[in-house]
Amino acid sequence: GAGVSQSPRYKVAKRGQDVALRCDPISGHVSLFWYQQALGQGPEFLTYFQNEAQLDKSGLPSDRFFAERPEGSVSTLKIQRTQQEDSAVYLCASSLERLANQETQYFGPGTRLLVL
Amino acid sequence: SQQGEEDPQALSIQEGENATMNCSYKTSINNLQWYRQNSGRGLVHLILIRSNEREKHSGRLRVTLDTSKKSSSLLITASRAADTASYFCATVRYGGSNYKLTFGKGTLLTVNP
């Protein structure tokens, strides 16, 4: 069956440009997560949605980062005025239930963002 | 911030040998999970062990958890070249925020044919 998909897979942006990264979770999954993975590091939590509600955005690095999931399915992570330190792989994950503490999170392939 | 630390950072073995990776973490957890990541398949969930479990098996994988030492180990037996990947442990904290995964920095495993 279809897994989590993300687009674009690769994005090159000039410093100062705005970018939008898309995530299509597994159909019917309630929970959706965004993670940021810098080169040589493990993924770090950015934000969490339960259906359309953004319940936790504590991991967003700055107010230039904004995420939404307006209809409780597809999600978009937007980065305004990109900086070089934003270069990373952005991973989206979804899980079936509300509480992920007993649930597997299924990850997409990621979007590799390079800011020049 | 990273919760866990994997050890070693890199490991190179021959096909057929066993590989052991360790993970230490800092806070009380609900469960600990191991993931594999390679360029071909992205981040893939391998196994989950709950805080009240001490050992778990899945195929060629064996995971142990010692909550008193806040550590876990992942053993891959009879390794194959296809096991070459980065391996991450990830924890789910006990109590609040018990939905997000906190990852370590990973162990890069290379299995030579």
Residues B7-63 pLDDT 10s? 889 999 999 999 999 999 998 888 899 999 987 667 999 999 999 999 999 999 999
For chain A, say whether B100 makes contact (Cβ under 8 Å).
yes
Enter the DSSP assignment of B4.
-
Nearest chain B CA: its distance from A102 CA (Å): 8
State how far residue B59 is from chain A, nearest Cα, in angstroms: 18
Within 10 angstroms of residue A110's Cβ, the number of other Cβ atoms is 24
Mutate to test the interface with B, among A33, A45, A57, A58 (most CBs of B within 10 A): A45
> Which residues on neighbouring strands pair with residue B10, listed in sequence order?
B108
Q: Residue A102: what are its φ and ψ, rounded to 5°? A: -120, 10
How much is the average pLDDT of A43-68?
95
Banded model confidence at residue B73, pLDDT cuts 50, 70, 90: very high
Give the pairing of strands B42-50 and B29-38. antiparallel
Between chains, do A42 and B2 touch, taking CB under 8 Å as contact?
Answer: yes
Cα four-point dihedral sign A98, A99, A103, A106:
positive
The pLDDT confidence band at residue B92, using thresholds 50, 70 and 90, is: confident
Residue B17, H or E segment: none
